[in-house]
Amino acid sequence: MKITVIAKVGKKEEKIIKLNNLLFEVWTKMPAKENKANEDIIRQLAQYFKIPKSRISLYLGRTQKEKVFEIK
Domains and CATH numbers, the chain: 2-71 (3.30.1200.10)
The closest alpha carbon to 37, from 28, 50, 45, belongs to 28
Instruction: Give the pLDDT score at 43.
Output: 97
Pairing of strands 2-8, 23-27: parallel
CA dist 21 and 15 (Å) reads 17
* Gap between the Cα atoms of 27 and 14, Å rounded: 5
pLDDT in tens, 27-72: 999 998 999 999 999 999 999 999 999 999 999 999 999 999 999 9
pLDDT at residue 50 in the model: 97
Q: What is the pTM of this model?
A: 0.93
Predicted local confidence at residue 6, as pLDDT: 97
